Structure formats: C-alpha cells, structure tokens
Amino acid sequence: MSYVDEVYRRTVEDNPGEFEFHQAVREILESLKLVIDSDEKKYRDVSLLERLIEPERIISFRVPWVDDRGHLQINKGYRIQYNSAIGPYKGGLRFHSSVNLNLLKFVGFEQTFKNALTGLPIGGAKGGSNFDRKGKSDREIMAFCQSFMSELFKYIGDDLDILGGDIGAGAREIGYLFGQYKRLAGLHCGAMTGKGPSFGGSPIRTQATGYGLVYMLENLLRRHGKGLDGKVVVISGAGSVAVHTIEKIQQYGAKVVTLSDSDGYIYDKDGIRLDVVKQIKEVRRGRIKEYLDEVPSAIYEEKKSIWDIPCHIALPCATQNEINLNAAKTLVRNGCIALAEGANMPCDQEATEFFQQSGVLFMPGKAANGGGVAVSTLEMRQNSMRTSWTFDEVDGQLHKIMSEIYDKTSDTAERYGVKGNFVAGANIAAFEKIAEAMMAQGFV
Ligand code: NDP
Ligand code: 2IT
C-alpha cells in the first residue's frame, strides 16, 4: 500500500466516526499523491503526513454562563492549534450547535492549507463552541463570550495564536471576546482579528471574504475568456460571507437571485435587494423569510433545494456539504459554468469530481475564501505597526493577494500535469510550503 493510502487508512482508524475530518483529509491526500508517490521515502522517513494530520495541540474546556432566567448553562469550548510550521496559529471561532471536535479538526486542517496558500506567515488553527447565538439576548451572548475567553486567554497571544471570526462569531462576538481578553491579559494587542474599526480592526475585514471570493471568481472567469456581467448567480447563506459577496458581485454587473438560511431560501427573479437584506441581517438580526415583507414578489421556499434554481454561477456561502452529487447534476444540467466555494468544503467529494468532469470552472474554498484570513493578517500587521491603513489600501492588497493565490493554484496544477484542476493546485501549492518548513525544523 502506498504511504498516502496507508496514512489515510490509519487516520480513519484513529479518528472513528469523524466523517467530515476524514473527508477533508482524503481530499487533500488524493491531491498529494501527485507529489508524494514518486518520492515516498523522503516523506515517509520523517512521518511528514502523520505530523501534518495530527494537530499540534487541542484545548478543550467547559464554558459556564448564566442565562436571562438566572439558570446556569454549560457549553463546550475548544481551540485546535493545528500547525505552526510557517507562523503563529491563526484561524476563526465557530459558534454553532453542531460544533464538535470532528468539525473543528476538518476546518482546522483546511485552514492550515488555506493560510499557507495566502503566502502570508500564518499557521493553522480553529476553535469554537456548541453555543448557538440564535434567540439569545445581547447580555447572554456577552456572558457566554466572557466565560469562553476566561479560559482561552491563557493559550493565545499575538505571536502565539490569533483568533478570528467564523459561523456565529461576527463583529459583536469578537468585540465581547476582545474586551474580556484585554481585561484578563492586561494587553491591548492583536491576539484577535475582526475587531471594530475604533479598537484596532482593519478596514475591509468585514467584507474581505465575500469581496475576495468575487475577486477570485473574476480572475477565474477572465482567464478563461469569460466575465461576470449579465450572469445569473445563486448564492446560499445570508451571513457575513454571503452578504458581502452579493455587494461586490453586483458591482460587476451580475444578478444574484437567491439567499438562504437554515430555515429556507428566497428567490427574487429581479435580483436580490441588498438594502433589504442588510436591514434584516445586520440591523434587525432577523430571518431571511422577512425579505417577503419588503419584496412580496419574491418567493420563499422551506422544503426545496436552492441548487434547483437555474444559474450561470453558483456560490455556496453557508456551510459544509451543502452540495451533493444530485445538486451538482442539477446545477450542470441547468447551465452552471462556474462554482467558487465561499464556505469551507460546501461541496462533497462526489459533487466536486462531477463539476470537474463536466468542465465547470471549480475553485475550492482554500483558494476562493482565503481573502478573509488574508485581511485578518493585514489587521495583525497594522496592529504590530501601530498604524491603520485606508479602505483603498487594504482593498488593493486584497485584490493582489487573491490574484496571487489564483496564479499559484493554477501554475501548480499545470506543473503537476493537471491543468485546470484547482483543487490539486491549491492543495499541492500549500503543501509545498508547509512541508518545506516542517522538514527544515526537524522532527517536532
Ligand atoms: P455567518 O454565521 O455570518 O452566516 C452563516 C450563514 O449560513 C447563515 O445564513 C446561516 O443560517 C447559514 N448556515 C450556517 N450553518 C448552516 C447549516 N448547518 N445549514 C444551513 N445553513 C447554515 O457565517 P459566515 O458567513 O462567516 O460563514 C459562512 C461560511 O463561510 C462558513 O462555511 C465559514 O466557515 C466560511 N468562511 C467564513 C469566513 C469569514 O471570514 N467569516 C472566511 C472563510 C470562510 P442560520 O442563521 O439559519 O444559521
Ligand atoms: O475560514 C476562515 O478562513 C475564517 N473563518 C477566517 C479566519 C480568520 O482568522 O480570519
């Protein structure tokens, strides 16, 4: 059995029942066969894959907090410090009822590769809690965030591990977490990103993942002789990534016709109205169904799949495994020509392979949604330099970083004889950088 296959088999055995983690590892290992199979000994002798897959450290803790009825609630808290070969641990926090170690290991592993691909000096991490902010008061959210940080502050720092946002952890949560960090650590430093603009946050961090996704997509289409103008786009999710993707893609002349949350989706054939969405999500913190109150001509569906709606471009921006083989077949049948992953691993492996076989331009999350963590790193840079850059300066850097990620991904695929396979290109380009750093640092 090859080294890669052997390591995958052992990963499954040693991490039973962790299906998303197995999926993320399998996808990356499949790509790495192109690098490793021809030079197995070099990697096997230093157990490189085993060390890459096993997180450096997992911190697991209890998060007690008091709800508005005076009852004590207990949540689980985690931080996975995955890999520090190329820089301090960096990655977001996910607050969602589904969070467990399996999910965080999958996103932490992916984050390690994504971060390497940005070309910036950041290792990989992820953390979070099974806390769900839906239906909670502001006071309850603050109480939870303060308790979460009361434990985690011991393990983070601006040269050690830098937290950021993810599902369920936006500007409000980061603000409360940062306040408690500052109070306990006695430091006003860049140990967290996604901060508010008045206390060290970077311009464009809020928009960065969505804007970066569109910059990546624009690169992808342009280099294949296509453009965004006039294209019909289906977007899932209605969170930070989805909303800012709509904002930017509309500026390029594309028409977005959908949005969704975990209850259902909105279809507006005339094009989603961003002002209405922002009012619902950012001001009222409401549900996407409320779009109908403002735009009665739109359609709301709870039971159907959003991917049944015909489009030229699909941008999954909600969560993992939202597109399976059936959804992929429907998208292709309906004329979808390109897909870029705003979410982390939103397409399962069968769907991904089907898109690639069908000639759909397919850009994986590691390359497509790297703009968020890239601007987080620009935030760290501004904090260290005690400075702040303008919106245009950061936007310019984001543009450049996304274009460089595209080049790296595309060139690496071509170098390994799989031109146009951006999954392989992204995984291998990231691996080359991490592996070189790990080899140079010895057996640690
Ligand atoms: P938000 O919490 O702002 O929004 C998430 C959206 O997805 C909500 O509309 C939510 O609906 C929906 N959603 C979440 N979980 C599920 C689920 N299990 N089933 C259906 N819908 C779901 O998160 P973000 O926009 O920040 O993140 C979206 C995706 O992008 C995630 O995969 C995240 O990992 C990824 N990402 C985020 C980055 C960032 O900078 N924030 C950077 C790179 C990737 P509901 O309100 O009903 O839960
Ligand atoms: O998945 C991701 O890249 C993020 N959630 C962003 C993490 C960060 O640290 O900004």
Model pLDDT for residues 367-406, shown as the tens digit of each residue: 999 999 999 999 999 999 999 999 999 999 999 999 999 9
Residue 145: what pLDDT?
A: 98
Residue 138: what pLDDT?
A: 97
Is-above-0.85 flag for pTM? yes
CA dist 267 and 290 (Å) reads 13
Angle (nearest 5°) at CA 271 between 266 and 274: 80
Report the 3 state secondary structure along 30-80: HHHHHHHHHHHHHHHCCCHHHHHHCCCEEEEEEEEEECCCCCEEEEEEEEE
Give me 383's structure tokens. 């904090």
Could you give the 3-state DSSP secondary structure of residue 336? coil
Dump strand ranges (E) for 106-247.
Answer: 124-129, 161-164, 232-235
What CATH class has 55-188?
Answer: alpha beta
Please provide the average confidence, as pLDDT, over all residues in the chain.
98
Percent of the chain predicted with pLDDT > 70: 100
Overall average pLDDT of the 307-319 stretch: 98
Residue 417: what pLDDT?
A: 98
Place of tokens 């500052």: 182
Overall average pLDDT of the 206-226 stretch: 98
* List 90, 105, 126, 366, catalytic entry: 126
C-beta of residue 364 within 8 angstroms of C-beta of residue 426: yes
Count how many residues are written for the chain: 444
Residue 26: what pLDDT?
A: 98
Nearest CA to ligand 2 atom 5: 166
The answer to whether 248 is a known catalytic residue is no
Residue 441: what pLDDT?
A: 98
- Going by the DSSP 8-state scheme, the letter that residue 297 receives in this structure is T
pLDDT tens-digit series, residues 5-37:
999 999 999 999 999 999 999 999 999 999 999
Residue 194: what pLDDT?
A: 98
Nearest to 321 by CA among 359, 363, 350: 350
CA dist 365 and 343 (Å) reads 6
pLDDT tens-digit series, residues 166-182:
999 999 999 999 999 99
What stretches of 201-338 show up as alpha helix (H) in DSSP?
205-222, 240-251, 274-278, 291-294, 325-333
**CATH number of the domain located at residue range(s) 208-359 in this protein:** 3.40.50.720
Overall average pLDDT of the 50-58 stretch: 98
Tell me how far the alpha carbon of residue 373 lies from the centroid of ligand 2, in angstroms.
5
- Choosing from 213, 261, 266, 315 the residue with most ligand 1 atoms within 8 A of its CB, the one to mutate for a pocket test is 261
Overall average pLDDT of the 137-146 stretch: 98
pLDDT tens-digit series, residues 62-109:
999 999 999 999 999 999 999 999 999 999 999 999 999 999 999 999
Residue 25: what pLDDT?
A: 98
Residue 317: what pLDDT?
A: 98
Domain spans, the chain: 3-52, 55-188, 208-359
Nearest CA to ligand 1 atom 30: 343
Asked if 55-188 and 208-359 have one fold, the answer is yes
Tell me how far the alpha carbon of residue 96 lies from the centroid of ligand 1, in angstroms.
9
Tell me how far the alpha carbon of residue 242 lies from the centroid of ligand 1, in angstroms.
8
Overall average pLDDT of the 268-284 stretch: 96
Overall average pLDDT of the 122-131 stretch: 98
Percent of the chain predicted with pLDDT > 90: 99
- Choosing from 173, 341, 369 the residue with most ligand 2 atoms within 8 A of its CB, the one to mutate for a pocket test is 369
Overall average pLDDT of the 190-208 stretch: 97
CB-neighbour burial class of residue 198 (10 A; exposed 0-12, middle 13-18, buried 19+): exposed
- For the chain, give percent helix, strand, coil, nearest 5: 50, 15, 35
